Structures are given as C-alpha cells and as structure tokens.
Structure 1
Amino acid sequence: MNRRSARAPRLLTVLVLAAALLAGTAPWAAAADKPTVTLSKSQAGTGGSITVKGADWRPKALLMLLICGQSSPQRGVIGGTNSCANADGLAVTTDAHGTFRKKLPVAEPPKACPCVVHVATVMGEKAAVDAAFTVAGHPVKPLPAASGNGRLAMVTDTRLDGSSGLLTWFGAPPARTFTFTVGNVGSTPVKNPVFHVGTSHGVFAPEWEEQQWRGTIAPGRKAQIKLPVELTAGASGSYLVSLKYEGKVLAEQPWGVGRPWGVTLFWILLCVVVPAAVFRIGMAVVDRLRPRDRYATGRHRGSQRLAELTVRLPKLTFTQRPRDPDPGPAPSGPPSGRTNGDTGASTTTLPWFTPDTGPGGPAAGQLSAPPDNSQTTKGHS
C-alpha cells in the first residue's frame, strides 16, 4: 500500500506535465517561443563596447545587432533602420541551442536617445527584440506622441495575383495585385495604414510608390490587403516587388515578366512593308514621268509600231499562165495580167523576191509583175 500511495503523486505529476506540454502552457515552452536579449552594460560611451547575449532564438539563425535612437522596448524602433547606426552594426549566428554571445562597439545613432540595442533576424521567420540602452554623451529627446495606429507585423500569404493579356504582349504596362496579410501586434487599432510599394529591376534600387489602404485593423487581428502594382510599358525581365511600412521592409516578392514579342513582330513587318510601299510609289512616279510614244500607248509600244508598219507594206501580185508545149517568141507590147481569157492563180509575193526567182515559180520570161502605176488589161474574148 505504501508503494502504491507513493507512486500515485508521481504519476499524477507526469500526467499534468504532459497535458501542459501538449497544451503549450509548459514554462519552458512559453520561454522558447519568445527570444530574449541581455546586455553586459546599460550605459556606455562612444568608443567603448558592450557584450550582447541572446537565448531562445531559432537555431542557426542569422541575426543583426544595431544601436538605434528614438526608440524604446515598448514602441520599438520608431524611425526604422534610418534611426540606427547601420555602419557600426554586426551580424551573428546562433548555435544549435538558439543562443549567441557577441561584443558590440558603441556608436552614436543618427537620432537622439532614448536608445535601444536592436536584435532582429535577417532571413526566414521574422523576430526582433529591443533592449534599453543609453549612449553616454548623446542627446536625449522625448519620443514623439503615439499616433494611435498600433504596430503592424507581416504574417504570411504573400503573392502577386493576375496575369498578362494580349495588350501586354504588344507592349502594354504589365500589372499585378500585391496580396499580403498583416496583423496588428499593438494595443491600439490601425486606421488607414499607408504602405510603400517598390519595384526594382536587376541591381537597380527600387522605385517607391505610396499607397493607402482604407480600413481598420483591431489589436490582435489580421487583415488581407491588396495593392495594385504596375510596371512601365514594354517592361521585361526579372523584377522584385518590395513592401515597406513605416520605413521597414515587410515583404519581397519576385516577378518574372515575359518579353513583348508583339512589338518585335510589329517592327519586322514595318521594315518589310515600308520599303515595299516606297518602291511601288517610286515605280509609279517613274512610269508617270517618262516620255510616251505618240503612235502607241501602253508598255509594248515597239511591237505595236512594227505591226502597223507591216500592215502598211504594199502587196505585190503576179499572174501565172499555163505552159505551151511549143513556146513561141515572146509577145511584144506591155505585159498584161490576163491573156486569151485564161485565168491564172493569183498569189502574194514577198517584197524581197523578184517574179522570176520566187520559190516554186515558172521559168524565166513567163512571170511578170505589173508596175504600181499600170492598169491590169484583160485578154480578148
């Protein structure tokens, strides 16, 4: 009985701890969710140094250590990294247990104190802790009054919505919608927050554009925000879209823009059509200005002129008489086309053949061609 009664409290303790661990209420679980930062000194002058220690950070995480002015652990770095001594900042990597130890030189920030040592993650999940610190000899000014806008922190679900259309293929400005989710981690509502959206190409710095979102985010609440993003006409290549709020970059999203091949096709067609049109116009002008033939119109003037001359050539005819078996002496007197009522065959002779030497003609003296100015006589009936 005594052994059973001694084991019961132990079993009960194990069950309670297990339940607390599953519920996320174990003491060490709560401590592991929130990183911590401690300083070896709370005050030091320029030229000195302090030792910064951290615990409960993400293992093998790259951290950035900065001394910032116009800041407090409750309100954070009000002016963003522009209020920090960026040139004297250091980077450190946590070990496998999420702890680090780094010696940080003291430098004067560009803004007046109150100051903090700002420790934040560089990559991966966002986490930041501010530890109060005083830079000896540095001016001190009261913090600006709270605007009542709370504090916005980036959450997840960052993307670019939309697609390119036919006009973009011909050089129209590519456009997308930058969608992201933010949460209010402050104690007051955030009303109509103003964001800065920047687009950068290659190694060039981003060009920022101010955009205001209409709405209110209550403390501890999240909201999905959509902001339009537009590039210049004819843009192509790899771009990076950045989101900044109160001087702090919250998110970045890559954007690959295709080449507008429609513009290339247009220039190719232009280089082909314009020379062809100039050539046709030049040919029309030359055809209009060159001298014309008065005897013919059209392109084939030479061939029409030759046909006209051929038609106008005189026609030469001759009469063929049948051969006599015993030819007598040649008759005297002018030759005639018809003799003794005999009818001969009339043929056309080319001008370069004589009647006696025509192809297939009769013997010499039997053919005659009347002159142009003589009249044809008929034979006796």
Structure 2
Amino acid sequence: MLLALVSVVASAAVLPGAAQAAEQPTVKLSKSQAGTGGSITVSGDGWRSKALLMILICGQAVPSRGVPGGTNSCANADGRAVTTDTKGRFSKKLPVAEPPVPCPCVVHVATVTGAKAEADAIFQVAGHAVEPLPAEESGGRLSVLTDTRLEGSSGLLTWFGAPPARTLVFTVGNVGTSDIKNPVFQVGTSHGVFAPQWEEQQWRGTIAPGKKARIELPVELTGGAHGDYSVSLKYGGKVLAEQPWGVGRPWGVTLFWILVCLVVPAAVFRIGMALIDRVRPHRAAGRSVRAASSRLRLRLPEVTLRLPGLRTAPPEPPASSTLPWFTPDSDPGAAGRLSAPHDDNSTTPTRKGTT
C-alpha cells in the first residue's frame, strides 16, 4: 500500500514536467532541402488551440539562436498563415523562396496574436548563398531578465481617434564583461503579419557588468489605429522581446460620423423648409391684402353715406336728364331764369306814364 502511494506521488510529480515538455511547440519539415520554385510541407504540434501562426523562410539563423535579424531577414512575401486545430496541430504547404540574407536558413513559425510562441526547423535553400553567422560581440551584452509589458491606458481622446500610446517596460542585465553606456534600442510596431517599423530610442545611463536596469521606452501608434499589434524590442541586431498589443476600435469616430449623417440632412431639411415658409406667407398675404382692398372699395360708398358728419357732393345728373319734349329754348322757365333780377315794388316806366 505504501509503495503504491509513493508511486502515485512520483507519477504526479513527473506528469507536470512531461506535460510542460509536451506543450513545447515543434516544427517538422517534409524536406530538409529544396530549390526555389518548389514547395515543402510544414507541420507542427504542441501549439495553442486555434492559434494563428505565420510560417516564413529566414536566413542567417539557427534554431539555437533564433532569427537575430527578425522578420527583415525572412522571405515575407512568400510566407503563409495557418490556424491550428483544437489539438494545437497544423499542416501547411510552403513555397520555397530565397530570403534576403544568406543562409544558414530555417523555417520560422511564430504566433501572430496572443501569447508569444515560436519554433524553428533547419532548412537549406538549394542554390542560395551560405555565409557564417556573425560572431557575437565581446564586452558588454544585454539580456532581458523579466518579461516585457506595456503600461498605460487609452483616454477619451484615443476613443475619438487620437494616437494610442503605451510605455514599454522591461528589465535588462549586462551579461558581458564591460560597461554599457547609453544603449540605443530599436522599438518596432507591427500590425498583423506585416514586418515591424523600427524606431531608435536611446536610454540614458550606464549598466555595469553583472548589473541590471529597469528601462521604460515610449511606444505610439498612428491616429485611428486599431486591431492586433505587436511591439518588438531589438538591441545590437537581435530581437530581445516581443509584446502583443490589442488596440480597441475608436468608436467615437464612428459615432461622430453617424451623427453627422443624421444631423446634416436634418439641418438641410429644416433650412429648406424655413426658406419655403418665408416665401409662401408673402404670396398669401398679398392675396389677402388684395381681397381686403377690393371689399373695402365695395363698401366705402355705403360707409361714407352713413357717416353723420360727412357731407358729400350730390351725384351728377346723367347726360340725358332733360325731357325729350323740352329743349333749352322752349323751356317755360328758361325766360325767367334768363332775365335779370329785379324788385317787384319798383315801377316800370311806360309810354302812358307812371302808374
């Protein structure tokens, strides 16, 4: 019973290490050598489930040292992307292409998003130049001691399209034999499967042999950037670390354009209706004024006749007021009207004398 218990405990102690070894990603090639224009089948196991991987042929690299020149020493145009299955396996056909630098070459497989993982397999491009790897510089050498991380957060302006910014924080140690003064690092940002865009940044300070230093370098993307990005750190031509960076979409910009599409047509419509309202009332008012003036003209004579204190001239008689059987000469009252006025009490002399 005691032996059985000890065996169970021993197996439990061994299983984590075996599981960890099984989780190490691996790469296998159908051919170890092929010429340009041909193709090989690249398969792998032990990768993360449903992980997006990038497969490249890179020069000046060996599995023990990785790819010191980064993706700049790889045939990026002929690379292939593949997604692992639920068990972390994949198989993909890769065309053979010459890398931009001489061999020794490897088939480099690395994750595009999420936690960093990579693996290499030795491969020879037939007919491609082969040169020895550059010797490692003696003296001071930097090595990343802790995992890199991005510190900071996006503000309100980033939500409206301002450039996202973070601070790349890492700790390096001098594993060489001499001091390193004011080291110059290269910080690169890449989007998806594209090669990083490198920018030199100098850190002010001195790192003595066997000492370490905490370094902070600013990282900034272009305005409106969103999606899955990767931040790489390189020193002395060697990539020291990579850090994924998921940048959210600037929804404020989308909201702004939605409001513009809604507000501008509504404003144009309101302005048009206001202009129509300013033109239409004048015509209606003109018609109402003309109608009121016509009604006033029709009722004015009647009103003036009814006003008590207003005297009006009598209407002129019509031209045909004289009776037809009278003429101006035969009118009986015409002679009386034509004679000069006189006094009835005065005497008129006659031939017979005064009466």
TM-score normalized with structure 2 length: 0.53
The answer (yes or no) to whether the contact 2:185–2:202 under 8 Å persists in 1 is yes
Secondary structure, counterpart of 1:142 in structure 2: coil
Q: Match for residue 340 of structure 2?
A: none
Instruction: Give the structure 2 partner of residue 115 of structure 1.
Output: 105
Measured in 1, the distance between the counterparts of 2:61 and 2:196 equals: 27
- Does the aligned pair in 2 maintain the 1:71–1:78 contact within 8 Å? yes
1:1-381 aligned within 5 A: 8-21=2-15, 24=16, 26=17, 28-147=18-137, 149=141, 152=144, 155-160=147-152, 178-181=167-170, 191=180, 192=183, 194-196=185-187, 209-213=199-203, 214=205, 216=207, 224-228=214-218, 238-239=224-225, 243-246=231-234, 250-251=242-243, 252=245, 254=247
Q: Give yes or no for contact 2:164–2:225 (8 Å, CA) kept in 1.
A: no
Closer, same or farther: CA 12–95 of 1 in aligned 2, 3 Å? same
**Amino acid corresponding to residue 12 of structure 2 in structure 1:** A
Provide closer, same or farther for how the CA distance between residues 84 and 151 of structure 1 changes in structure 2, counting only shifts above 3 A: farther
Q: CA, structure 1 residues 194+104, in 2 after alignment: closer, same or farther (shift >3 Å)?
A: same
Query: Compared with structure 1, are the counterparts of its residues 83 and 151 closer, same or farther at alpha carbon in structure 2 (3 Å cutoff)?
Result: farther
Partner-residue secondary structure (3-state), 2:4: helix
For residues 12-37 of structure 1, what are the alpha-carbon distances to aligned partners after superposition, in whole Å with 9 as ceiling and x for unaligned? Answer: 3112112334xx3x3x2131342111
Secondary structure of the residue aligned to 1:146 is coil
For structure 2, the residue ranges without an aligned partner over 5 or more in a row are 157-161, 254-355
Compute the displacement of 1:99 (Å).
1.4
In 2: Cα distance, 1:45 partner to 1:177 partner:
44
3-state SS in 1 of match to 2:21: helix
Greater per-residue helix proportion:
2
Preserved contact between residue 66 and residue 117 of structure 1 (Cα < 8 Å): yes
1:123 is displaced (CA, Å) by: 0.6
Range with bigger deviation, 137-146 or 205-214: 205-214
**Matched position secondary structure for 1:109:** coil
Q: C-alpha displacement at 1:206, in angstroms?
A: 9.2
TM superposition shift of 1:162: 10
CA contact (8 A) 2:61 2:67 kept: yes
SS state at 1:181 partner? strand
Q: Do the aligned partners of 1:178 and 1:228 also contact (CA within 8 Å) in 2?
A: yes
Question: Contact 2:53–2:83 at 8 Å: present in 1 too?
Answer: yes
User: What secondary structure is seen at the aligned counterpart in 2 of 1:158?
Assistant: strand
Aligned-partner Cα distance in 2 for 1:101–1:188: 41
Number of residue-to-residue matches in the alignment: 232
% same residue:
50
Q: Distance in 1 between matches of 2:125 and 2:189?
A: 34
CA contact (8 A) 2:189 2:198 kept: yes
Contact 1:175 1:228 (8 Å CA) reproduced: no
Q: Rate the CA distance shift 1:228–1:94 in 2: closer, same or farther, 3 A.
A: closer
Shift in alpha-carbon separation, 1:92–1:143, aligned structure 2, 3 A: same
C-alpha distance 81-18 of structure 1, shift in aligned 2 (>3 A): same
**DSSP-derived class of the 1:73 partner:** coil
CA shift digits 1:30-56 (9 cap, x unpaired) = 313421112222111112222212111
TM-score relative to the length of structure 1: 0.49
